[in-house]
C-alpha cells in the first residue's frame, strides 16, 4: 500500500479509525500481515509462524475494521484494547502492528534478536501496542475482565478484545475469567478464540475435551458466534455483530483456523506448532504467498 | 469422653474460629485496623477499589465494602481471576486493594501475581490474612512459607506489620508507594502495642523499639510483639534485649541491621512468624555474611514441616513463637 493511497482517503477517516475509507481490502491487509510474519520468521529460521499465518485474517479484521486506535498514540485513552493472551503469537501481532503503522516495517529484521523491541514472546514493556505480557497462558480473559470493569468505572465506551487459543482453554484460569465476565455482565468484552487444534505436544482435541465449544460458551452466558476464521467476510460480520449485540453479556467469536494458512507445504506438516523451515523455503513461501494473492486480485 | 461425675473435667484449649485471636487476655486491641484505615484513605482517593475472593469478612475488607459498595468487587472463590482482574483494573487507573488468605495468594495465584502484576509493576496492593501460623486449621490455612515464596519475585515489596497501629499506618504508606505490595494482615481485634514505643512505620525502614546490651532480636510481624514481651521477661533476669523491628522484609533495611549488629558482641536472634527457610532470618544472615559480619546468630521461627492443627496458643508455644518459648530459646543460647 502506498502512502499516496492513504492520503487520498484521509478526509474520510474518522478519529480512531485511521484506515476507514481506505481502498486497501481486508484481504490485502491479511496477505501483507502474513508476508510481514514470514519475513520475521526468516530472521529466526523457525517459530510460531503457522499460528501467525492462521490468525492473519482475524488480525486484519481486528486492526482494519473493528478496533478503534491511533497509530501514533498507543496509549490513547479512548482506544479499544487488544490483549494478546497467547504471547507466542507475538510474531502475528507484530505483523499486524507493522501493517497498522504502529511499528515501523524496518524493525522486521530485528525480530527476536538482542535488544529488539520484538521479542519472541509478547511483553507489554517491550513493544508499543502490546497491551499485556501474555505467554504464561490463561491470563488474557481475566485481565480483560479487570480492564472491562475499569473502563465501565470510567464510563468509557471502549471495548476490550482478548485473543486466546483452544490450547489455552486447558487452563482453569480461563474459565474463572469466563465466569467472571458473565457475572459482571461485561458487554464491553469481546473474546476471540483461535481454534487451530494444535498445541506443543500435538492436537488440542487429543489432549482435552474441548468441544462442544459453541454450546459451552452459550451455557456460560456469552453472546456466542462460531465462524471460519479464514473466511475474512465471515469474521468481519461476526465482529460487527459482536459489537452491535444488545445484550448485557460478554461476547465470544470462536474462529476455526487452518494452521499455516496460505502456504500449502507448511499447512500439511503434521506437527506445526513450532515450525522449523529450511533457509531456502522462506523465500519459496513468500513467493507462493505473492503469487496466490496477485492471482486472486487480478 | 469422661463419664466421671466427681472430678471436674480439665478445660482443654480449643481451635476456636478459623482466625483465632492472637491477642492475649486483657491485651489492648483495635478493631479491623486494615478495613478502617482503608475506608479513611479511600474517602480522599477515589481510585482505590477493593477486591476479594469470598473472604471480605475474614480480611476486614467488609468494612470497605459497606462504605463503598460500588467500589467493591466480589470475585468469588477464584484467586486467579482475583489477581488478573486486579491487574486489569490497575491498568485502567484504579488502585486495587486485593484480599484473600496468604495460602491462596501464594500457592494458587502465584503466576498471576508474578506475570500479570509484578512483571508489569502494576499498582496492586495484596493484603493477606492468616500469615504464618495464625490459624489452628492446619497446613491448608497456615501460610508458613509465604515470605519465602514471594521474596524471589522482583518488583514486589513485602511488609509484615506487628500490630494494629502499624497496619493503620501502613495502609496509606503502601498506597503512596508506586508499585505492587504484599502485606501480611492481622485482622479482627488486633493487639495494639507499638503506640507505647513512639513507633512510626516507614516502608523500607527497620526501627529499634528498645535497647539492650546482651541480645539483639531482629524481628518482624507478630514476632515483634512477642519479642517485646520476651524482652520484658528477660530483663527481670538482667538480660538486656534490643528489639529491632523490620516490618519491611523486602527491600530489607540492611544498613540499619548491619549497624545494629556491629554494636558489641551481642547474640543476634532473628524472630519471625514464618518457616526458618527463606524468610527474614535467612535474608538477614545472607546480608550479614555479604557484609563480612559473623556474629553468634540464631533463628526463632517455625520448623520446616507441615504444622499441626489445634489451639493457637498451644501451637505458638510448641513451635517456638510464644513469648515464653522465645525466652526459653534465648536463655539456652546465652
Q: Write out pLDDT tens, residues B155-212.
A: 999 999 999 999 999 999 999 999 999 999 999 999 999 999 999 999 999 999 999 9
Question: Out of A132, A136, A177, whose CB is closest to B111?
Answer: A136
**Surface of A (169-188) touching B: CB under 8 A:** 172-173, 176-177, 179-180, 183-184
Torsion over CA: A63, A68, A70, A74 (sign): negative
Question: Out of B84, B90, B115, whose CB is closest to A145?
Answer: B84
Q: Report how many Cβ contacts below 8 Å link chain A to chain B.
A: 94
Please tell me the distance from the alpha carbon of residue B232 to that of residue B237, in angstroms, as a whole number.
9
Q: Which residue of A has its CA nearest to B118?
A: A133
Structural contact between residues A165 and A86, judged by C-beta atoms closer than 8 angstroms:
yes
- Taking only the tens place, the pLDDT of each residue in A195-211 is 999 999 999 999 998 99
User: Residue B15 pLDDT > 90, yes or no?
Assistant: no
What pLDDT does B9 receive?
Answer: 65
- Taking only the tens place, the pLDDT of each residue in B68-127 is 999 999 999 999 999 999 999 999 999 999 999 999 999 999 999 999 999 999 999 999
- Taking only the tens place, the pLDDT of each residue in A74-110 is 999 999 999 999 999 999 999 999 999 999 999 999 9
What pLDDT does A270 receive?
Answer: 79
C-alpha distance from A65 to closest chain B C-alpha (Å) = 24
Please tell me the distance from the alpha carbon of residue A50 to that of residue A92, in angstroms, as a whole number.
9
Angle, vertex CA B138, rays to CA B135 and CA B144, nearest 5: 70
Structural contact between residues B315 and B13, judged by C-beta atoms closer than 8 angstroms:
no
Of the pLDDT bands very low, low, confident and very high (cuts 50, 70, 90), residue B6 is low
User: Are residues B81 and A172, on separate chains, in Cβ contact within 8 Å?
Assistant: no
Provide mean pLDDT across the span A156-165.
Answer: 98
Contacts of B89 in chain A (CB under 8 A): 146-147, 149-150, 153
Provide mean pLDDT across the span A13-31.
Answer: 91
Contacts of A173 in chain B (CB under 8 A): 80-81, 84, 112
Question: Out of A139, A144, A151, whose CB is closest to B115?
Answer: A139
User: Are residues A146 and B115, on separate chains, in Cβ contact within 8 Å?
Assistant: no
pTM for this model (two decimals): 0.94
What pLDDT does B22 receive?
Answer: 84
Question: Out of A123, A143, A153, whose CB is closest to B116?
Answer: A143
Question: Out of A154, A173, A183, whose CB is closest to B80?
Answer: A173
Rounded to the nearest integer, the mean pLDDT of chain B is 95
Contacts of A142 in chain B (CB under 8 A): 80-81, 83-85, 87-88, 112, 116
What pLDDT does A272 receive?
Answer: 85
Cα B114 from chain centroid (whole Å): 20
Structural contact between residues B90 and B117, judged by C-beta atoms closer than 8 angstroms:
yes
User: Residue A1 pLDDT > 50, yes or no?
Assistant: no
Integer-rounded Cα radius of gyration of chain B: 20
Query: Dihedral of the CA atoms A102, A105, A110, A111 (nearest 10)?
Result: 70
User: Are residues B80 and A154, on separate chains, in Cβ contact within 8 Å?
Assistant: no
C-alpha distance from A161 to closest chain B C-alpha (Å) = 13
Length of chain A: 298
User: Are residues A142 and B80, on separate chains, in Cβ contact within 8 Å?
Assistant: yes
Percent above pLDDT 90 for chain A: 88
Which candidate in A79, A143, A159, A180 is best for mutational testing of the B interface (most B CBs within 10 A)? A143
User: Are residues B84 and A154, on separate chains, in Cβ contact within 8 Å?
Assistant: no
Contacts of B120 in chain A (CB under 8 A): 124-125, 132-133
Grid cell in block for residue B99: 484480599
Which is nearest to A297 in space by CA: A10, A15, A8, A31? A31
C-alpha distance from B44 to closest chain A C-alpha (Å) = 17
User: Are residues A180 and B88, on separate chains, in Cβ contact within 8 Å?
Assistant: no
Q: Which value does ipTM take for this structure? A: 0.94
Sheet holding B215-219, edge to edge: B207-210, B241-245, B215-219, B267-275, B297-302
What pLDDT does B215 receive?
Answer: 98
Question: Out of B76, B88, B119, whose CB is closest to A150?
Answer: B88
What pLDDT does A12 receive?
Answer: 46
User: Are residues B116 and A133, on separate chains, in Cβ contact within 8 Å?
Assistant: yes
User: Residue A5 pLDDT > 90, yes or no?
Assistant: no
- Taking only the tens place, the pLDDT of each residue in B265-313 is 999 999 999 999 999 999 999 999 999 999 999 999 999 999 999 999 9
Percent above pLDDT 90 for chain B: 91
Rounded to the nearest integer, the mean pLDDT of chain A is 93
Please tell me the distance from the alpha carbon of residue A169 to that of residue A209, in angstroms, as a whole number.
10
User: Are residues B111 and A179, on separate chains, in Cβ contact within 8 Å?
Assistant: no
Grid cell in block for residue A116: 529488539
Q: What are the residues whose beta carbons fall under 8 Å from the beta carbon of A223, sequence distance 6 or more? A: A242, A245, A247, A249, A250, A251, A252
Question: Out of B81, B111, B119, whose CB is closest to A177?
Answer: B81
Of A154 and A15, the structure prediction assigns the larger pLDDT to A154
Least confidently predicted of A9-18, A82-91, B27-36, B239-248? A9-18
User: Residue B11 pLDDT > 80, yes or no?
Assistant: no
What pLDDT does B21 receive?
Answer: 76
Name the phi and psi angles at B329, rounded to 5: -65, -45
User: Are residues A145 and B76, on separate chains, in Cβ contact within 8 Å?
Assistant: no
User: Are residues A180 and B93, on separate chains, in Cβ contact within 8 Å?
Assistant: no
User: Residue A10 pLDDT > 80, yes or no?
Assistant: no
Of the pLDDT bands very low, low, confident and very high (cuts 50, 70, 90), residue A6 is very low
What pLDDT does A100 receive?
Answer: 98
Please tell me the distance from the alpha carbon of residue A76 to that of residue A99, in angstroms, as a whole number.
19
Question: Out of B81, B119, B120, whose CB is closest to A145?
Answer: B81
Of B9 and A271, the structure prediction assigns the larger pLDDT to A271
Structural contact between residues A236 and A65, judged by C-beta atoms closer than 8 angstroms:
yes
Of B141 and A274, the structure prediction assigns the larger pLDDT to B141
Please tell me the distance from the alpha carbon of residue B314 to that of residue B325, in angstroms, as a whole number.
11
- A78 in contact with B at a CB cutoff of 8 Å? no
Q: Where are the beta strands (DSSP E) in chain B?
A: 29-31, 48-52, 72-74, 95-101, 125-129, 157-159, 181-185, 189-191, 207-210, 215-219, 241-245, 248-250, 267-275, 297-302
What pLDDT does A11 receive?
Answer: 46
What pLDDT does A3 receive?
Answer: 46
For chain B, the maximum distance between any two Cα atoms, rounded to a whole number of angstroms, is: 69
Of the pLDDT bands very low, low, confident and very high (cuts 50, 70, 90), residue B17 is low
Torsion over CA: A32, A36, A37, A42 (sign): positive
Q: Which residues, listed in sequence order, are joined to residue A193 by a DSSP beta bridge?
A: A164, A254
Burial class (CB in 10 A: 0-12, 13-18, 19+), B285: middle
Of the pLDDT bands very low, low, confident and very high (cuts 50, 70, 90), residue B16 is low
Percent above pLDDT 70 for chain B: 96
- Taking only the tens place, the pLDDT of each residue in A163-194 is 999 999 999 999 999 999 999 999 999 999 99
- Taking only the tens place, the pLDDT of each residue in A214-251 is 999 999 999 999 999 999 999 999 999 999 999 999 99
Grid cell in block for residue A6: 492513504
Q: What are the residues whose beta carbons fall under 8 Å from the beta carbon of A4, sequence distance 6 or more? A: none
User: Are residues B115 and A143, on separate chains, in Cβ contact within 8 Å?
Assistant: no
Please tell me the distance from the alpha carbon of residue B80 to that of residue B86, in angstroms, as a whole number.
10
Amino acid at each position: 500500500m502506498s502512502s499516496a493511497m492513504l492520503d487520498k482517503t484521509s478526509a474520510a477517516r474518522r478519529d480512531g479509525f485511521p484506515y476507514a475509507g481506505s481502498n486497501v481490502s481486508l484481504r490485502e491487509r491479511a496477505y501483507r500481515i502474513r508476508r510481514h510474519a514470514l519475513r520475521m520468521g526468516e530472521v529466526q529460521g523457525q517459530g510460531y509462524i503457522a499460528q501467525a499465518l492462521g490468525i492473519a485474517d482475524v488480525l486484519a479484521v481486528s486492526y482494519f475494521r473493528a478496533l478503534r486506535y491511533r497509530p501514533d498514540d498507543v496509549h490513547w485513552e479512548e482506544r479499544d484494547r487488544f490483549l494478546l493472551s497467547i504471547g507466542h503469537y507475538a510474531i502475528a501481532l507484530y505483523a499486524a502492528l507493522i501493517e497498522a503503522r504502529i511499528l515501523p516495517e524496518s524493525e522486521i529484521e530485528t525480530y527476536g534478536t538482542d535488544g529488539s523491541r520484538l521479542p519472541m514472546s509478547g511483553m507489554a514493556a517491550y513493544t508499543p501496542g502490546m497491551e499485556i505480557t501474555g505467554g504464561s497462558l490463561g491470563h488474557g480473559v481475566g485481565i480483560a475482565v479487570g480492564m472491562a470493569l475499569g473502563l465501565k468505572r470510567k464510563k468509557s465506551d471502549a471495548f476490550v478484545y482478548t485473543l486466546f487459543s483452544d490450547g489455552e482453554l486447558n487452563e482453569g484460569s480461563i474459565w474463572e475469567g469466563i465466569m467472571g465476565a458473565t457475572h459482571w455482565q461485561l458487554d464491553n468484552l469481546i473474546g476471540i478464540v483461535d481454534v487451530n487444534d494444535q498445541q506443543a505436544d500435538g492436537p488440542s482435541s487429543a489432549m482435552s475435551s474441548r468441544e462442544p465449544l459453541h454450546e459451552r460458551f452459550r451455557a456460560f452466558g456469552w453472546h456466542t458466534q462460531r465462524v471460519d476464521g479464514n473466511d475474512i467476510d465471515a469474521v468481519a460480520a461476526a465482529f460487527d455483530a459482536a459489537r452491535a449485540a444488545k445484550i448485557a453479556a460478554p461476547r465470544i467469536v470462536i474462529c476455526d483456523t487452518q494452521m499455516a494458512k496460505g502456504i500449502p507445504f507448511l499447512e500439511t506438516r503434521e506437527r506445526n506448532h513450532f515450525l522449523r523451515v529450511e533457509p531456502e523455503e522462506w523465500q519459496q513461501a513468500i513467493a507462493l504467498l505473492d503469487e496466490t494473492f496477485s492471482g486472486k486480485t487480478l | 469422653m469422661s463419664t466421671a461425675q466427681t472430678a471436674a473435667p480439665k478445660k482443654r484449649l480449643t481451635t476456636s474460629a478459623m482466625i483465632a485471636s492472637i491477642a492475649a487476655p486483657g491485651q489492648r486491641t483495635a478493631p479491623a485496623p486494615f478495613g478502617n484505615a482503608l475506608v479513611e484513605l479511600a474517602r480522599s482517593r477515589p481510585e482505590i477499589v477493593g477486591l476479594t475472593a469470598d473472604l471480605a469478612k475474614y480480611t476486614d475488607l467488609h468494612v470497605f465494602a459497606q462504605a463503598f459498595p460500588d467500589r467493591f468487587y466480589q470475585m468469588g472463590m477464584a484467586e486467579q481471576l482475583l489477581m488478573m482482574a486486579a491487574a486489569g483494573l490497575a491498568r485502567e487507573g484504579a488502585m486495587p486493594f486485593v484480599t484473600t488468605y496468604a495460602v491462596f495468594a501464594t500457592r494458587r495465584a502465584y503466576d498471576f501475581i508474578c506475570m500479570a502484576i509484578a512483571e508489569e509493576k502494576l499498582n496492586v496492593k495484596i493484603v493477606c490474612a492468616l500469615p504464618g501460623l495464625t490459624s489452628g486449621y492446619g497446613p491448608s490455612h497456615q501460610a508458613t512459607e509465604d515470605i519465602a515464596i514471594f521474596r524471589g519475585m522482583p518488583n514486589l515489596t513485602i511488609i509484615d506489620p506487628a500490630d494494629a497501629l502499624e497496619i493503620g499506618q501502613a495502609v496509606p504508606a503502601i498506597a503512596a508507594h508506586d508499585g505492587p505490595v504484599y502485606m501480611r494482615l492481622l485482622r479482627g481485634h488486633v493487639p495494639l502495642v507499638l503506640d507505647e514505643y513512639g513507633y512510626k512505620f516507614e516502608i523500607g525502614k527497620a526501627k529499634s523499639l528498645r535497647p539492650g546490651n546482651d541480645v539483639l532480636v531482629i524481628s518482624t510481624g507478630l514476632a515483634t510483639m512477642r519479642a517485646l514481651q520476651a524482652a520484658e521477661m528477660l530483663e527481670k533476669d538482667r538480660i538486656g534485649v534490643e528489639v529491632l523491628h523490620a516490618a519491611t522484609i523486602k527491600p530489607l533495611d540492611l544498613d540499619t541491621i548491619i549497624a545494629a549488629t556491629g554494636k558489641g558482641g551481642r547474640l543476634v536472634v532473628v524472630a519471625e512468624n514464618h518457616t526458618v527457610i527463606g524468610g527474614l532470618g535467612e535474608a538477614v544472615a545472607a546480608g550479614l555474611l555479604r557484609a563480612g559480619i559473623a556474629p553468634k546468630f540464631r533463628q526463632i521461627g517455625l520448623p520446616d514441616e507441615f504444622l499441626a492443627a489445634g489451639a493457637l496458643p498451644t501451637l505458638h508455644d510448641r513451635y517456638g513463637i510464644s513469648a515464653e518459648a522465645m525466652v526459653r530459646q534465648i536463655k539456652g543460647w546465652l
